[in-house]
Amino acid sequence: MRSSVAELRELKAEAERGPSPEATRRQHAKGKLTVRERLELLFDPGTFQEVEQLRRHRASGFGLEDRRPATDGVVTGWGRVDGRTVFAYAHDFRVFGGSLGEAHAAKIHKLMDLAEAAGAPLVGLNDGAGARIQEGVTALAGYGGIFRRSVRASGVIPQISVVLGPCAGGATYSPALTDFVFMVRGTAQMYITGPDVVGAVTGESVTHEELGGAEMHGAVSGVAAIVCDDEAECLAEVRYLLSMLPSNNRELAPVAFTADPADRSCDALLDLVPPNPRQSYDVRDVIREIVDDGEVFEVHARWATNLVCALTRLDGHVVGVVANQPSVSAGVLDIPASEKGARFVQFCDAFSIPLVTLVDVPGFLPGKDQEYGGIIRHGAKLLYAYCNATVPRVQVILRKAYGGAYIVMDSRSIGCDLSFAWPTNEIAVMGAEGAANVVFRREIAAAPDPDEARAQRIKEYRQELMHSYYAAERGLVDDVIDPADTRRVLVRSLAMLRAKDAPLPSRKHGNLPL
């Protein structure tokens, strides 16, 4: 028995060391950690339990029969993050370039099934060269099994992808199907076809970074929700995100202790937001002033920046915040912002995270490019997500709220539970200037002094239909509140709504807009 145990220990030690010291040096030379160094950063010390460490592929041909390393290029298992169970698989680029073969895929399939059965989050650490070409179609079938399981687990357990190296071809759809994608600058790339193929087919000359780097996906495509400078920061951010998520859709997110008083007065808000709707400000300052200890986890911070989506806490309870950003394009809604907001609202609703919507929106962005790009159907995605959400929903109108964008930003008419407004609110079909030009067009044109007539009609329209209490008088706003009371009002409202029950009609599923 002792000799057998000694042999076992040597086999496990060999699997943990990886193929060779030289392979490890090459990994480090690229600025990347090894697979086990990454897992040590992700999990609480000493809690990772590996499964199928000794698994090897059974393929032959092209020299594979002579190369059968343990793990087959992926480490799978579970451990604890802040004391809570989390499952993870991590590609080992030192073994077959982290490429996916039949055995490799089977390990991931098993882990995904375990995570769903146990009701615990799943984290994928991606650093692989895609399908293992030497294994042919069996490798492609392996990806199909991953995609199917990811879709089945969507909205059941949180799924997080961390891209730490190459991720190309069909492999990119694995992260794309998950809830959040993290990428590291300088080392992570994602693309369907690489620069060489792009150059051969289209004649375009493009680098790996330009085509699929973290900066591009964080700011242009919106594929990456979080972009980090290095792997240590990235995995720390993953741990922080996990601390704000429930383990599954049958549980609530963890409640954290806070010394920040629930009834704290937010006096700084009186100066943060200018009363003039034409003046800009950073809505993130408003969010930080309202929430616990000013701590905010913003997602897609560099994409569709005219809308802010963030996870944070109020009185220790996790909430999702959606807010127009007046410092970027006046906070207007456009195609990327609509997609960003819809995705975030759907995630929060799937995992019972209440929604707070801060509104300061002049409307949808007009123009040929937006119409040709499908602003109607993309805007409908955000509308659909809000209308379909059954979690507690509270709206706060900070300043302007015009037209269809006011409706879409979780107005009372589409089902928010409570709507509050600051005394600076202006809720209308459009701004007073535009409305006067439409309603009184002929009268203004016929006036001896059109400019004076226009100014008078704008003043009258604002006084009659856009004063701060117009919506409240008609029951479209529940209360007009002192901005300093915003935190207190939100905490009390969400506490009252915590047991909200709003079942949807029996159906297989809805038909989301394209």
Catalytic site includes residue 404: yes
Secondary structure (3-state) at 308: strand
Residue 139 has pLDDT above 90, yes or no: no
Q: Are 476 and 416 in contact (CB under 8 A)?
A: no
Per residue in 216-275, pLDDT (tens digit) is 999 999 999 999 999 999 999 999 999 999 999 999 999 999 999 999 999 999 999 998
HSE value, Cβ hemisphere, 13 Å, CA-based, for 248: 12
What distances in angstroms separate CA 405 from CA 160, 316, 413, one per listed residue? 31, 31, 12
Q: Cα(335)–Cα(321) distance, rounded to whole angstroms?
A: 19
Q: Cα(383)–Cα(377) distance, rounded to whole angstroms?
A: 10
Q: Are 147 and 155 in contact (CB under 8 A)?
A: no
Sign (positive or negative) of CA dihedral 503, 509, 510, 513: positive
CA angle 136/138/139 to nearest 5° reads: 75
Residue 66 has pLDDT above 70, yes or no: no
**Dihedral pair phi/psi, residue 164, rounded to 5°:** -115, 0
Residue 40 tokens, joined: 């040590």
Residue 431 has pLDDT above 80, yes or no: no
The identity of residue 505, as a single letter, is P
Residue 371 has pLDDT above 90, yes or no: yes
Q: Which residues contact 69 (CB under 8 A, 6 or more apart)?
A: 15, 19, 56, 95, 96
The active-site residue, picked from 310, 405, 421, 432, is 405
The active-site residue, picked from 373, 404, 415, 434, is 404
Stretch 70-74: mean pLDDT = 87
Give the whole-number percent of the chain exceeding pLDDT 90.
72
Q: What crossing angle do the helices spanning 35-42 and 231-243 adopt, rounded to 10°?
A: 40
The active-site residue, picked from 119, 136, 170, 374, is 170
Residue 467 burial by Cβ neighbours in a 10 Å radius (0-12, 13-18, 19+): middle
Q: Residue 60: pLDDT band by 50, 70, 90 thresholds?
A: low
- Tell me which residue of 496, 501, 424, 491 sits closest to 462, measured CA to CA: 424
CB under 8 A, 24+ apart: contacts of 327-330? 327/280, 327/281, 327/282, 327/283, 329/365, 330/280, 330/306, 330/362
Strand partners, 321: 310, 356
Catalytic site includes residue 499: no
Q: Are 183 and 217 in contact (CB under 8 A)?
A: yes
Per residue in 397-416, pLDDT (tens digit) is 999 999 999 999 999 999 99
What pLDDT shows up at residue 196? Answer: 86
Provide the whole-model pTM. Answer: 0.93
What Rg do the C-alpha atoms of the chain give, in angstroms? 26
The active-site residue, picked from 169, 218, 341, 431, is 169
Catalytic site includes residue 320: no
- DSSP assigned state of 505: P
Counts of helices then strands in the chain (DSSP H, E): 21, 17
- Tell me which residue of 123, 134, 251, 130 sits closest to 180, measured CA to CA: 123
- Listed in order, strand segments (DSSP E) in 307-387 are 307-314, 317-324, 355-361
- DSSP assigned state of 220: I
If you average pLDDT over every residue of the chain, what do you get? 92
Residue 30 tokens, joined: 């690229």
What pLDDT shows up at residue 429? Answer: 80
Residue 356 has pLDDT above 80, yes or no: yes
